[in-house]
Amino acid sequence: MKALRRFRQLLRRSVTTRALVSSLVLLGVSALFLIASFLATQRKSSQEQLELRALALADFIAKQAQFPLLVGDRSELSRIADGALSNRDVAYLEISGADSVLIQAGREDRKAAFGQRPAGPAGTAGSDFRIVSPDLLEVRRLVRPPTRGRLLDWETGASSEAPLGLVRMGFSMREQQAALRSTLLWGSVAIGLGVCVILSVQYLQLVHLLHPLKTLMRFTDTVGSGDLSQRARVDREDEIGHLAAAFNRMVTRLGETTVSKDYVDNIIQSMGESLIVVDASMVICTVNRATLALLRCEAGDLLGQPVSVVAGDSTGGAVQSGVERVYRARNGQEMPVLFSSGVLHGPSGEVQGYVWLAQDMTERKRVDEERNRAREAAEQASRAKSTFLANMSHELRTPLNAVIGYSQMLMEDCGPEAEAMRQDLEKIERAGQMLLGLINDVLDISKIEAGKMDVDLQPFEVSPVVRDVVNAVQPLARQRANRIRVRCPEEDPVAYADVAKFRQSLLNLVNNACKFTESGTISVDLSRTTQAGRDWLVVKVADTGIGISPDQLARLFQPFSQVDGSATRKYGGSGLGLAISRKFHQMMGGDITVESTPGRGSVFTAWVPAAPPAEKAGGEARKREDAWRESS
């Protein structure tokens, strides 16, 4: 609430801020409309392409299954099913005969779909589609007997005979959804950059526009105090320059002769802002047309009346500038205005009255309220997203741990004669580990975004952690024919950080270096330095791999961003490791930077405090560090 009040105060004090915020709301609504329209079109096009692919594959499988269904060859049908499942877009496949299901094959996470629709041929339609789940499309294709006279061609022709069976296939839409999410992300980034450019240009224009107005206001105050020797600076040819020139002519005539009341009234009536002149006893003496239009009344309703009929919370003779006040119309309706006031002095300096200027802010207030509601909705959506990710990650880890555990138990029970089954179980176990790692990364990033990630800062020796990381990455290094070299100062360096988060971050850096390097060298260099009056532990992880291009460096630490972003990625990964690692280091008081040359390798530099901050060095923090050093 305090932040909201400060933001509202800023809006009241700055016309520039209100204009920029209004433009931001309009641009945001337009951007959302464009993104929604594009996504709807893209989703429809992708869905049609996916259905065509699924239908073509179902037709091919139906043709392949024609002969096995005729002769009852289940082994050939199994081979056809295995071949279909080698396509990563096929989630499951069911081949039914005339009376029963002959073959059911599918991935572990899609087998539950077999029971969602009755098996066996249904109707006479050649094929149909249906959406089983948000990421799964099911296609059904009848297997018809071969056309008479073309038995050896095995082609499906028009036939009035009963179908041989049915092919029921589940087609995954995950890649399509991933492509849509990627398109949404980059489209949002591009639109965000465009909005920033537009707001920057508008800000410069507003500053350029309001600066001469402020100068003219200061000049008006000087003239109002009785100094008629000053002149406004005229260096523009637009309306502001014309206004400044008009003020100069007015001051000249004031100095040379007595200004007629009609002339002054003409100036007052021509103003676009509401102007009210009151005497020293706060009785209304003069109003302009803008005031009458704002308050929806006639001049006779205001002249001679106390100013409290317009502003019930009158501040008397207090001089104000650019504040928000409330005016009350004749029908009792209240309206917010941007209010400024000045003092009218007599020839001898006595106070003769006051001038009130006001600008209607009803429309701006409405825009502000809409903006506040939109911001609150966005904050609630962000909190809901983080909560959903955290809950779903917890719910998914439990069955994944069971899958991994049972696969490991089954591998232990497999004898030498079941080598093929062992290999399949190893694939299941590896896939489960990869998915569990991805879920852990999603849980970490959601906790960080929700502000619920804690760090346990304490001093520890870095060398054992580095050795553990290197030992963990050695299998990948041998697989890629890489050599890992560690260089550490003679005195074992100490870091003041969270041990678990430091280990996880370093493991991500070294693992990435091995993954993107082949037949090369990965160097892990530890050193200490002092910057900004504080000791730092510097860990540099260098490789001789593929390197990173400059445009990829700009988005390297963004969540779900990857160096290998092609449709058929070679290196894999979720794109969360570097983002989480950098967030961890920033939470511990450090950071991660990167330098890279495409084709020559990359150098990631991790900065970690080597000691607690000076203000925390005493007290409990110092006692904790001294006790740790004594135990070491």
590 and 561, same domain (yes or no): yes
Residues 620 and 568 occupy one common structural domain: yes
Is 624 a member of any domain? yes
Give the DSSP per-residue string, 581-616: HHHHHHHTT-EEEEEEETTTEEEEEEEEESS--GGG
**Does residue 333 sit within a domain?**
no
Q: What is the pLDDT of residue 258?
A: 46
**CA 362, 366, 371, 372 torsion: positive or negative?**
positive
Query: Does residue 595 fall inside a structural domain?
Result: yes
CATH number, domain containing residue 552: 3.30.565.10
Domain of residue 446, residue span: 367-450
- Together in a domain, 433 and 472: no
Residue 541 bridge partners (DSSP): 524, 604
Q: How far apart are CA 104 and CA 92, in angstroms?
A: 8
Domain count, the chain: 3
Last residue of a domain, one of 418, 450, 482: 450
Quick one: 142 and 94 in the same domain?
yes
Residue 233 domain-assigned?
no
pLDDT along the chain (632 residues), means of 10: 68 66 78 79 80 85 85 85 83 84 74 51 54 80 73 48 84 79 81 82 73 72 70 71 78 64 70 80 83 81 81 65 79 80 79 81 82 85 71 71 78 74 77 70 68 80 89 87 86 85 88 89 90 86 88 73 48 67 86 88 91 61 49 44
Task: Kindly state whether residue 208 falls inside one of the protein's structural domains.
Answer: no
* Closest by CA position to 135, among listed 88, 184, 170: 170
Task: Tell me if residue 229 falls in helix, strand or coil.
Answer: coil
Alpha-carbon span 354 to 530, nearest angstrom: 62
One domain for residues 513 and 561? yes
Domain CATH for 401: 1.10.287.130
Is the Cβ–Cβ distance between 129 and 52 less than 8 Å? no
Instruction: Count CB-CB contacts under 10 A for residue 290.
Output: 20
| Domain final residue pick, 422, 450, 478 | 450
Q: Read off the tokens for 360.
A: 């209607």
Residues 600 and 486 in one domain: yes
CATH number of the domain that residue 108 is part of: 3.30.450.20
Q: Note every long-range contact of 209-216, with CB atoms under 8 Å and residues 24 or more positions apart, other chains counting.
A: 209/240, 210/15, 210/16, 212/236, 212/240, 212/241, 212/244, 213/240, 216/240, 216/243, 216/244, 216/247
Please, what sign has the CA dihedral across residues 405, 406, 412, 416?
negative
H-helix segments, 225-321: 239-256, 261-270, 289-295
In a domain, 94, yes or no: yes
Is residue 608 located within the same domain as residue 483? yes
Of 450, 469, 498, the domain-final residue = 450
Strand partners, 424: none
Query: How far apart, in whole angstroms, are the C-alpha atoms of residue 440 and residue 435?
Result: 9
Q: How far apart are the C-alpha atoms of 451 and 585, rounded to whole Å?
A: 15
Kind of pairing between the strands at 521-531 and 483-487: parallel
pTM of the predicted structure, to 2 decimals? 0.38
Measuring CA to CA, how many Å separate 89 from each of 71, 109, 141, 486, 568? 29, 13, 17, 43, 13
Same domain, 384 and 498: no
User: Do both 514 and 610 map to the same domain?
Assistant: yes
The H or E element spanning position 160 is none
d(CA 109, CA 597): 41
Query: 131 has which bridge partners?
Result: 137
Please state, in angstroms and as integers, the Cα–Cα distance from residue 356 to each residue in 332, 364, 391, following that order. 20, 20, 58
Contacts of 25 (CB under 8 A, 6+ apart): 367, 370, 371, 374
Beta strands in 393-432 (DSSP E): none
* Count of residues making up the chain: 632
Burial 58-71 (b: 16+ CB within 10 A, else e): bbebbbbbbebbee
pLDDT score for 173: 80
Are 477 and 613 members of one domain?
A: yes
- Residue 429 shares a structural domain with residue 463: no
- Residue 388 counted as domain residue: yes
Rounded alpha-carbon distances, angstroms, from residue 226 to 255, 321, 347, 451, 524: 10, 20, 8, 59, 76
DSSP state of 13: H
DSSP 308: G
Residue 376 Cα distances to 2, 6, 364, 369, 540, angstroms: 15, 16, 18, 11, 42
Q: Of 248, 249, 305, 257, give the one whose Cα is nearest residue 282.
A: 305
User: What pLDDT does 124 receive?
Assistant: 40
User: Sheet containing 323-328: which strands, arranged edge to edge?
Assistant: 284-287, 274-279, 351-360, 334-345, 323-328
- Helices and strands, counts by H and E, the chain: 14, 17
Q: Which long-range contacts (CB under 8 A, 24 or more apart) does 250-259 make?
A: 251/223, 254/223, 254/228, 255/228, 255/229
Residue 355 CA to residue 421 CA, distance in Å, equals: 92
Residue entry with tokens 């001049």: 299
If asked whether residues 402 and 469 sit together in one domain, one would say: no
- Does a structural domain hold residue 288? no
